[in-house]
Amino acid sequence: EITVVGLQASGKSSFVHVLGSGQWTEDIAPTVAFNLRTVRKGKVTIKIWDVAGQPKFRSMWERYCNGVDAIVFVVDSADRDKFPTARFELDQLLKNPHLTSVPLLVLGNKNDIENHATAAELIEELNLRKIQTREVSCYSCSMLSQDNMGEIIDWLSKRGH
């Protein structure tokens, strides 16, 4: 069971769609509140909470992250102006004491766009090195080209119980 959070238009629902169908589509509307989807990958069944990223929905993130096996935080790696807000919202979420040991996967999505930030840059921008109470990984990826999807599925498959 995982929860996907991050700012609006970072590509959370696109990620869930690619994970579920193996295919890219541009035809995804901004999420209202949340969507629940179940995806089967080999022997693993993943229950995914796809939560909305617009400001008015961010206070819900914490509730949906409670008790899951991993939190996936999606960042638009080509939208550098939003990194400070992404960092702030991630900090707010991870501050919650009941989420302290939940593993975190940060996805720097949209790496098909020129001048995107690399995983190393995102680790700096989001200050991921200071996180010590949980397992943290960061991948650069693209839902459009499906770059790194195999590694991401492997990571997720190892976090279940």
Annotated binding site: 6-13, 31, 53, 109-112
Distance from C-alpha of 3 to C-alpha of 132, rounded to nearest angstrom? 20
Judged by the rule CB under 6 A, the positions of this chain that interact with ligand GTP are: 6, 8-14, 26, 28, 30-31, 52-54, 74, 109-110, 112-113, 142-144
Distance from C-alpha of 70 to C-alpha of 67, rounded to nearest angstrom? 9
Token pair in block for residue 70: 């991993």
| Comparison of 3 and 10: residue with beta carbon closer to ligand GTP | 10
| Comparison of 136 and 148: residue with beta carbon closer to ligand GTP | 148
**What residues form the annotated binding site for Mg(2+)?**
13, 31
| Minimum CB distance to ligand GTP, residue 9 (Å) | 4
Judged by the rule CB under 5 A, the positions of this chain that interact with Mg ion are: 12-13, 31
Q: Which does 81 bind (CB under 5 to 8 A by kind): Mg ion, ligand GTP, none?
A: none
| Minimum CB distance to ligand GTP, residue 81 (Å) | 15
| Minimum CB distance to Mg ion, residue 74 (Å) | 9
Q: Which does 14 bind (CB under 5 to 8 A by kind): Mg ion, ligand GTP, none?
A: ligand GTP
